[in-house]
Structure 1
Amino acid sequence: MDLVSIPANPVPDDVVTGTIKTSDGVNLRFARWHPPPGRKGTICLFQGRAEFIEKYFETVRELRSRGFAVATFDWRGQGRSQRKLDDPRKGHVGDFSEYETDLEAFMREVVLPDCPPPIFAVAHSMGGTVMMRLARKGSRWFDRVVLSAPMIQLAGSRDSGFAKFAVRAMRYAGMGSAYVPSGNDTVVASGPYIGNHLTSDPVRYARTKAVLEAAPDLGLGSPTVAWLNAAYRAMNEFTDPAFPGKVRQPLMLVAAGRDDIVSTAATEELAIRLRAGSHLIVAGSRHELMMEQDRYRGQFWAAFDAFVPGTPLFK
C-alpha cells in the first residue's frame, strides 16, 4: 500500500512498502527503509493507538540519520491495515494478544528476512503495552527496547475501579463492539490544537492534522468497549508483584511529565522495579514525546542515544 505524502510531511527516501497477512488472516500495511551508510542495525517502530505510519516520518528521519534501518507497520484496526468492524472509526480488538499476532507476522515476514541486525525497538503508548508483555514472555528479537510514554496504567478516573467494572459489565452484556461511554467517531488529532492532550507543539500537531485531512481513511475515533476491557486486562498484568522479576529484556522507559493520557507515576514505579530497566521523566512534555517541542524531544533522543546501541546486559 502506498504511503501518503504531503508537502509538510514527505515520505522519507529509500522506502519499501507492502502488505502482509497475519496467521489469523488480517492484512497489515508495512514500510521499511534501507540502512544508510555506516549502518548500526534496525529500529522497529511500534505506534500507539489511533496512529499510522505517516505520523512517524520525522522519527524515521531521526533514526536513519543515526545510521539505522527502520521498519514499521500499522496495527490491525488502524492506519491502512485491515479494520474488523463495519464502522472503520472504531478502534477494536478483543484481546491484546491479537497485537502480538500482528508483531509476530511483521517480524517473520518483514524484519528478519530483510533488515540488518542487531534489532532494537521503539514503542509508543499502546505499543509499549504490547512490548512490555512480550518482554515478560522472553521476547527473543530485540537487543534493547525504548518505550515512549508506555501505557502501563491509564491516567485519572479512567483507571478507577468503577470504570473497569462498568466496561467489564458492558462487555459481558454483549456491547463489546460499541464505543466506550462518551466515545464517538471523532478522529483522534483532528480537532483544534487548543485543548489537545497529545503535544504542546502546534506545528507538529498541525502536521498530523494535515495528513488526516489529506487521507481521512487513516483516522480512528474512540475505542470500543472490548478494546478498553482488553487494555485493562493487559495493564493488570503489570500490577503483579512478580512481574518485574520476569523481565530480562533491557528496557528504557521515557515518561512525559504532563501526561494526562497514561500515568507517569505508574511508569516510574514499574521502571524502578525492573531488573534491567532505566527511566527518564521529561518534565513539561505531553504524551507524544516524539511529536513534542524540540526542547522535550531533545531529551528523549539523548536518552535514546545513551541506551541504543549498548553493551548487552545478559548473555
Structure 2
Amino acid sequence: MTDTISSRREIPQGAKIHFWNAPAGGQLRAFAWPSDSATPRGSILFQGGRGDIFEKYLEVFAHWHAQGWTITWFDWRGQGGSGRLTPAANCGHIESFDQYIADFRAFYAEWEAGTPEPHVVMGHSMGGHLVLRGLIEGAATPDAAVLIAPMLGFKSALPFAERFAKILGGVGDSSRPAWKTNEKPYTSDSRYSLLTHDKGRYEDEIWWQHEKPEIVTGPPSWRWVIEAMKSMRELRDNPRLKRMNIPVLMLVAKADGLVDARAALKIGPKLPDSRIVSFGNESAHEILREVDAVRNRAIGEIDLFLAARAQKR
C-alpha cells in the first residue's frame, strides 16, 4: 500500500482527465486510469461524496491500479470540476437527486461497455447513498459494490429536520447556500477533525484546492439539503433493499460526525448479500484517508471482499 507524497499530489502517468457529455446536458469532469496489465484484474468505478474530488483518492487508486484494476471516477453534477448550477459562489446545488441517478445510470452504461470485467462500483458518503440507490433502482448492475461511510442519514439530525429544512429553504431562492462554512452547520468541530485523524492526508486536499481553485465546492444549497433528506428517507423505506442481490461490503465509522452510522447499520442487514465492517473512535468520516492503521484495515477488507466476490465471469 503506497503512501508516498507523489502518489497523492501528482496525476499518475497513464491517467486521463476529460469531460463527459451527459445525456441530460452539461459536461461532467471524469478521471480514467486504465490498467496497464496484459491481464487486467477488472474495473472499479469510484464515486465520491458531496464536494469530493478524485484527487483526494489518488493514493488508494494507486494501490488498486498496481493490482491490475482500471480506475474510473466522475465528479457529480454541480460540484468539483463539473461546474456549478447556481451563481452563489461555490455552492453545491442540485434540483433533485434524480438528476444524480440519471447521470450515474448513463455513465455506468458507457463505462461497463468499455472496460474489462469484473465490474465493481464503490461509493463514499453521498456517493455511497447514490450507488446504493442506483443499485436498487437498476441504474447499475456491477459484480460487487463497496459503500464507505454511506450517507444514509445525517448525524444528530433534529426531529422533523426535513420539515424544518423545507420551511427555511422554501423562503426565497432555495439554490442559496444553506450555511456559510464547514461541512456541518452549528458545530465547533473543525473540518479536519470531522474528516480524518491524519493531518497529512487532510492537507493533500487543501493542496489540490490551491492548485485548482475551480474544483472547490463550498456549502450545499437549501435545495440540496431538502433533496438529500427526501432521498435518504425514501431509500431507507424502499422494499427493494431486501431484493437487491448484488454483493455489498459496507464500511461504517461509528464515531462519524457527519453521517449517521446507525442508519447504515440498520440498512446493511436488509440487503440479502452484505458484509458490514465497523470502525470505532479510531476513524472519522473519511475511512480511506485515515491514519495508516485504519486505512490499511479498510483496504485489506476491500481487497479480501473483491478477491472473494468480484471474479471474472
The answer to whether the superposition gives a TM-score over 0.5 is yes
Identity %: 25
**CA spacing shift, 1:71–1:241, aligned 2, 3 Å:** closer
Match among 266, 289, 292 for residue 291 of structure 1? 289
Q: Which amino acid aligns with 1:71?
A: T
Letter in 1 for 2:9: N
Q: CA deviation at 1:204?
A: 0.3
Aligned with residue 205 of structure 1, among 197, 202, 224: 202
State how 1:1-315 maps to structure 2 within 5 Å.
9-37=9-37, 38-109=39-110, 111-156=111-156, 159-180=157-178, 183-184=179-180, 196-240=193-237, 242-283=239-280, 284-311=282-309
- Deviation for aligned residue 1:7: 8.8
What residue identity is the alignment partner of 2:103? D
Report the alpha carbon displacement of residue 209 of structure 1 after superposing the two structures with TM: 1.0
Q: Distance in 2 between matches of 1:237 and 1:271?
A: 15
Q: CA deviation at 1:298?
A: 1.2
Whether contact under 8 Å (1:144, 1:309) holds in the other structure is: no
Q: 1:252 to 1:114 in 2, by over 3 A?
A: same
Contact 2:8 2:58 in 1 (8 A): no
Amino acid of the structure 2 residue aligned with 1:74: D
Q: Is the 8 A contact 1:138 1:247 kept in 2?
A: no
Give 3-state SS (helix, strand or coil) of 1:134's partner.
helix
Q: Relative to structure 1, is the Cα distance of residues 185 and 90 closer, same or farther in structure 2, using a 3 angstrom cutoff? A: farther
CA distance, structure 2, for counterparts of residue 195 and residue 114 of structure 1:
38
Counterpart residue identity of residue 290, structure 1: L
> 8 Å contact 2:48–2:124 — kept in the other structure?
yes
SS of 2:231's partner is helix
Could you say what the CA RMSD is over the residues aligned between the two structures, in angstroms? 2.5
TM-score (norm 1): 0.88
Q: TM-score when scaled to structure 2? A: 0.89
Gaps of 5+ in 2: none
**Aligned AA for 2:200?**
V
For residues 293 and 130 of structure 1, the distance between their equivalents in structure 2, rounded to whole angstroms, comes to: 26
For residues 244 and 81 of structure 1, what CA distance do their matches in structure 2 show?
30
Unaligned ranges ≥5, structure 1: none
- d(CA) in 1 for partners of 2:213, 2:32: 23
Task: State the distance in 1 between where 2:310 and 2:197 align.
Answer: 35
Cα offsets for 1:74-115 (capped at 9, x unmatched): 111111112111124111101111111221332244x13432
Superimposed CA distance per residue, residues 258-281 of structure 1 (whole angstroms, 9 cap, x where no aligned partner):
211011121111112221111000
Contact in 1 for aligned 2:118/2:310 (Cα 8 Å): no
1:134 maps to a residue whose letter is G
Contact 2:152/2:260, CA 8 A, preserved across alignment:
yes
SS at match of 2:73: strand
- 8 Å Cα contact 1:89/1:220 also seen in 2: yes
Instruction: Indicate if the aligned counterparts of 1:151 and 1:262 stay in contact, CA closer than 8 A.
Output: yes
What amino acid does structure 1 have at the position aligned with 2:12? P
How many residue pairs get aligned? The number is 302
- Tell me how far 1:246 sits from its aligned partner: 3.0
State how far apart, in whole Å, the 2-side matches of 1:60 and 1:241 are.
32
Q: What is the deviation of 1:201?
A: 0.3
Post-superposition Cα deviations, 1:173-200, rounded to whole Å, max 9, x if no partner, equal 44311221xx126689xxx978531000
In structure 2, distance between residues paired with 1:155 and 1:187? 12
Displacement after TM superposition at 1:6 (Å): 7.9
Q: What amino acid does structure 1 have at the position aligned with 2:92?
A: G
Could you list the structure 1 runs, at least 4 aligned residues long, displaced by more than 4 angstroms after superposition. Answer: 5-8, 185-188, 192-195
